[in-house]
Amino acid sequence: MNPIERFRKECLERTKLNRKNDKLVNAARAFMKESTLPQYSYNFTWLGRPIIQYPQDIIAMQEIIWHVKPDLIIETGIAHGGSLIFFASILELLGGDEQVLGIDIDIREHNRMEIEKHPMFKRITMIEGSSIDEEIAKQVHDFTKDKKQIMVVLDSMHTHDHVLKELELYSPLVTKGSYCVVFDTVIDDMPDEMFPDRPWDKGNNPKTAVWEFLKTNDRFVVDNEIENKLLITVAPDGYLKCVK
């Protein structure tokens, strides 16, 4: 066994043990709960733009992108654009002409300006409109023509119905071996009424949408290896690998 394969095997063995380590799992869950209301994820930037993600998920996404080598990453939900910049910067390292497509119902002008003047904007295209609008979805599907390896990231409105519709619209674009990553599934693991000012909560969130989606779609499976490795993640059951 060569050193790379040995390292990979050792990592897999360690991460499998993580899930059996009750103290470690409980500590991770406690951290997720206690860090949510203080908006821990709002404290980080990527190449100058707020990214609003946990560092663990950022690392996981980097690993996925480097392994899958998509020529297109589609993301719903832009906010400050940190994730678009992040995806574009990893694709830049791949060295081809890979692109990032972002969709948001409201791209605020100050965010658009900062994204457009960023060095990584050369790989980014943005569409303003609802990700579940049929016309917007058509634009996205048209954009994917001639793309061979596509990855999708869902991080916009977090209600069950919205995410389920996004999954129905965009999961067919994901190519075998790539991923559809659904963020903020952790909402369902939080205490009841944790988000009183939001239209989502326990029982109505991205994770419930993922569970519903997987009942009738056998192209995707939850990649538990990623969650076992991270433990601290906003996307439990949200790293969906395309296997067909």
Query: What tens digit of pLDDT does each residue of 12-55 get?
Result: 999 999 999 999 999 999 999 999 999 999 999 999 999 999 99
pLDDT, tens digit, 9 for 90 and up, residues 196-231: 899 999 999 999 999 999 999 999 999 999 999 999
The structural domains of the chain, ordered by start, are: 3-242 (3.40.50.150)
pLDDT, tens digit, 9 for 90 and up, residues 72-88: 999 999 999 999 999 99
Q: Which amino acid is at 220?
A: F
Query: Per-residue confidence at 1, pLDDT binned at 50, 70, 90?
Result: confident
The predicted model scores a pTM of 0.97
